[in-house]
């Protein structure tokens, strides 16, 4: 009798721990696929960064992280989508420098980058390149500047919409040359690259994560990199400053955000997943091959992203206002 009482008590205990464990498992995050929203088209540079880390996170956690491309209006459509998503830890946004330029470019923005999101982490820094269709007349930056100045009514420039990095860089390029070009917006520079390859557009300023393969394959011409120094991946390509265009430097940084109210323990876990992805040899290799720069550990934190975003908003507000006549 005594033995059977002990057995009953033990079984009750075992059953209740099982119930507790399964309740914990249900509450544990992630218990279903996590969506990583990219506000630009598939196949473009932001998408390349997003898919690389999503694949690594899926591999390391066994839980799918799925890239969703929500495109439009220079990245603002996808950003607003994430702002309005449930803050349940299953929707995140991967955006770039556009998060800091949109406030100066849009009179009415449907989100506030500083108050509508939880910050998760920065990801990677990517240089931009000024590229042209293969048969564009200018052979180097000096000739490009002269050609564009003399033919500004004929030359067109692709971008990923107002607020995109390609738009910012294109504005700065036009301002530096005092040349008002026709701009052709796409849902991302992935599709814009197809138009460049097809000769439907002349020029584009875009991240190496999209241009590098085409430059190496000789499918597009490259004139300059937008970084302060030449980059290892393209050692023969001059900087803009070397080409005479001073005060014109753009590095496309990337950040991950969650809808405001997403639990802190979840954004912390996602932060760890990003850090782990950035240590994955496959990710390191593909990012290095594409000419990107790893960001310091201090930026791979919510606070690092927040303070960087604020400083970039302060930096680009005046730059954009000064180039406003080239904003469309």
Which residues contact ligand ASP (rule: CB under 6 A)? 40-41, 44-47, 98, 159-160, 164-166, 188-190, 206-207
Query: What is the C-alpha to C-alpha distance for residues 167 and 204, in angstroms, rounded to an integer?
Result: 9
Query: Nearest distance from residue 190's CB to ligand ASP, in Å?
Result: 5
Query: Nearest distance from residue 43's CB to ligand ASP, in Å?
Result: 8
Return the structure tokens found at 318. Answer: 């005046």
Query: What is the C-alpha to C-alpha distance for residues 176 and 64, in angstroms, rounded to an integer?
Result: 45
Query: Nearest distance from residue 78's CB to ligand ASP, in Å?
Result: 11
Query: What is the C-alpha to C-alpha distance for residues 177 and 171, in angstroms, rounded to an integer?
Result: 10
Do the beta carbons of residue 48 and residue 188 sit within 8 Å?
A: no
Which residue, 159 or 227, is less far from ligand ASP as judged by CB? 159
Query: Nearest distance from residue 162's CB to ligand ASP, in Å?
Result: 11
Query: What is the C-alpha to C-alpha distance for residues 10 and 90, in angstroms, rounded to an integer?
Result: 38
Query: Nearest distance from residue 312's CB to ligand ASP, in Å?
Result: 14
Measured between its terminal Cα atoms, the distance across the chain in Å is 87
Which residue, 79 or 262, is less far from ligand ASP as judged by CB? 79
Which residue, 189 or 239, is less far from ligand ASP as judged by CB? 189
Residues 6+ apart with CB under 8 A from 146: 138
The string of DSSP letters for 214-236 reads: HHHTTSEEEEEE-SSS--TTSTT
Which residue, 45 or 259, is less far from ligand ASP as judged by CB? 45
Region at 165 (left for phi over 0; alpha for psi -120 to 50; beta for the rest): alpha
Query: Nearest distance from residue 249's CB to ligand ASP, in Å?
Result: 16
The string of DSSP letters for 36-62 reads: EEESS-TTSHHHHHHHHHHHHHHHHHS
Q: What is the dihedral of CA 165, 171, 174, 179, to 10 degrees?
A: 140
Query: Nearest distance from residue 146's CB to ligand ASP, in Å?
Result: 26
Which residue, 75 or 89, is less far from ligand ASP as judged by CB? 75
Query: Nearest distance from residue 206's CB to ligand ASP, in Å?
Result: 5
Crossing angle of helices 165-177 and 141-150, in 10° steps, is 80
Which residue, 53 or 266, is less far from ligand ASP as judged by CB? 53
Which residue, 207 or 267, is less far from ligand ASP as judged by CB? 207
Query: What is the C-alpha to C-alpha distance for residues 267 and 171, in angstroms, rounded to an integer?
Result: 35
Return the structure tokens found at 2. Answer: 């005594």
């Amino acid at each position: 009798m005594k033995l059977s009482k002990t057995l009953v008590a033990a079984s009750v205990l075992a059953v209740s721990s099982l119930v507790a464990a399964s309740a914990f498992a249900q509450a544990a995050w992630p218990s279903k696929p996590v969506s990583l929203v990219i506000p630009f088209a598939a196949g473009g540079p932001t998408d390349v960064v997003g898919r690389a880390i999503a694949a690594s996170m899926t591999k390391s956690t066994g839980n799918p992280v799925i890239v969703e491309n929500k495109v439009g209006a220079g990245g603002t459509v996808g950003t607003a989508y994430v702002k309005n998503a449930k803050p349940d830890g299953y929707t995140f946004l991967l955006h770039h420098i556009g998060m800091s330029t949109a406030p100066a470019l849009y009179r009415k923005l449907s989100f506030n980058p500083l108050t509508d999101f939880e910050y998760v982490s920065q990801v990677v820094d990517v240089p931009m390149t000024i590229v042209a269709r293969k048969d564009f007349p200018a052979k180097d930056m000096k000739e490009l500047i002269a050609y564009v100045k003399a033919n500004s009514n004929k030359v067109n420039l692709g971008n990923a919409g107002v607020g995109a990095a390609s738009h910012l860089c294109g504005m700065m390029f036009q301002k530096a040359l005092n040349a008002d070009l026709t701009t052709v917006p796409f849902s991302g520079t992935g599709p814009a690259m197809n138009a460049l390859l097809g000769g439907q557009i002349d020029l584009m300023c875009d991240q190496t994560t999209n241009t590098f393969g085409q430059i190496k394959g000789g499918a597009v011409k490259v004139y300059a990199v937008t970084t302060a120094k030449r980059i290892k991946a393209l050692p023969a390509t001059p900087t803009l400053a070397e080409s005479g265009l001073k005060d014109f430097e753009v590095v496309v940084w990337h950040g991950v955000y969650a809808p405001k109210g997403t639990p802190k323990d979840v954004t912390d876990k996602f932060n760890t997943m990003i850090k782990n992805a950035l240590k994955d040899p496959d990710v390191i290799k593909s990012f290095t091959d594409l000419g990107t720069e790893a960001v310091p550990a201090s930026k791979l934190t919510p606070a690092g992203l927040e303070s960087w975003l604020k400083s970039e908003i302060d930096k680009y507000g005046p730059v954009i206002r000064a180039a406003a006549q080239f904003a469309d």
